[in-house]
Amino acid sequence: MVSLFIGIDSYSQEFKDTTFSVRGFTCPCKYNINIEDDNKIFDRSEKPAYYPGGEEDWKKFVKKNMDTKFKGRDNVEVRFQVDKNGDLSTFLLLNKAPNQKYEEVLRLLKSSGKWFPSLQNGYCVKSYVRLTFEL
């Protein structure tokens, strides 16, 4: 009976309660301390990663900062990773958009700063975000 409790205790996750604060917005979650648990990247999660302030503030940011002086109209579909610290990385173009428009979307995303990470079972987790921009 004692060995059963020892086995359960050694498997338990180490975490700390965290509240992310970005530009006056907050997001509480549990932050997993075990590095080996960080390998999984979620395509879907209970609560997806998002720009601080939500969709309304994201639209304002895009409108204010996106260069739209390109010829023609194209959709630029991208996927990127938001890690459990809110940093963006691993950008991937998902369609055949012109390179200069893809570069503009990358510039915009990289200048957007930290995002709030996805949540899964109350834990901050790495995830992918997919967005489409019309340029």
Question: What are the per-10-residue average pLDDT scores of the chain (135 residues)?
Answer: 37 62 73 68 90 94 92 94 94 95 96 93 91 93
Residue 33 CA: distances (Å) to CA of 41, 125, 129:
16, 12, 23
The pLDDT of residue 25: 73
CA angle 84, 117, 13 (to 5 degrees): 45
The pLDDT of residue 15: 62
The pLDDT of residue 69: 87
Residue 127 CA: distances (Å) to CA of 45, 56, 64, 86, 87:
8, 21, 26, 10, 11
Residues 49 and 81: their CA atoms lie apart, in Å, by 9
Classify 94 as helix, strand or coil: coil
Q: In this structure, what token pair is assigned to residue 32?
A: 């997993």
The pLDDT of residue 9: 38
Convert 5-34 to b/e letters by CB count within 10 Å (16 or more is b): eeeeeeeeeebeebebeeeeeebebebbee
Residues 24 and 26: their CA atoms lie apart, in Å, by 7
The pLDDT of residue 122: 85
Classify 83 as helix, strand or coil: coil
